[in-house]
Amino acid sequence: MPETPKTVFYLVMLIVSAYAVNAGLEPIGRLSELVSPLVVLVLLLSLALNVNHLKLENLKPVFQLSMREDLQNSLLPGGLYGICIIMGVFMAYHNNPKDTLKAKLGGVVTGTLLIILNLLMVIMVFGVNLCTQLQFPLYSLAQMIEVGDFFERLELLVMIFWIAAGFLSITMLYYVSTLGFAQLLKLPDYKLLTPFIGVAVFILTMTMFRNITDTDALFEGIFPYLALSVEGGLTTLLFFVSLFRYGKKPIQIKKRG
């Protein structure tokens, strides 16, 4: 497995994602309903089984950074949370779009609470200094689990559901991108663009980043500003344009998938 080229993993994930995109939005939603509770369960189990390793003193000192530094450090998480804008695409295809805002807010709040809980647990177990050096803190946390002499190596389970959650994220972004370009080009069926978007994603995956260092450089550099400008500025602009053009009249959207 370690000698398998990364290209193989990229292709397999992309082909399966393309199949799911062509299957439509409902199968993606059904898969999400199946996988998401299991991902949350594994996360909570990983945290609960590390309670004996907690050290509350690792949370000190509190409010060590200035407000300016806190705001600057919040740019990256804010940019990553911007992915929630794709929920706006799914809201239009719901049977009752007016009720989807509550579901969206519930999902965002639940995800935020889980991330905060995970962050606190990791800091209390490893400490701030070690956390900054860990590439995948949750995976390292799962490696520490050992109950008796029979319940251990839980990191394998974490990795399985981690990949499943990643697959769902890739598939939803793939679907939204394909659908958006199809509507922009006024194509009769978004599935016509699925292979082309897939090839573009594969090429970008193979050429944009040489290693994890390049990825970190992007996320710590221009990404937060680029993401927030698109997710916040562009979407807000589109909202006002739509409000000016259509007013409060409901916009009819032809459902696909």
- What pLDDT score does 252 carry? 57
Confidence of residue 73 (pLDDT cuts 50, 70, 90): confident
Q: Which two tokens stand for residue 80?
A: 């990553």
- Mean pLDDT, residues 157-161: 84
* Eight-class DSSP state of 253: -
Tell me the pTM. 0.81
Confidence of residue 68 (pLDDT cuts 50, 70, 90): confident
Confidence of residue 248 (pLDDT cuts 50, 70, 90): low
- What pLDDT score does 17 carry? 93
Percent over 70 (pLDDT), the chain: 93
Distance of CA 9 to the CA centre of its chain: 19
Closest among 193, 217, 162, 208 to 13, alpha carbons compared? 162
Q: Name the one residue in this structure whose structure tokens are 């562009």.
A: 234
CB 54 within 8 A of CB 146: no
Tens digit of each residue's pLDDT (9 = 90 or more) over 95-126: 877 778 788 888 888 888 888 888 888 888 88
Q: Which two tokens stand for residue 124?
A: 């209390």
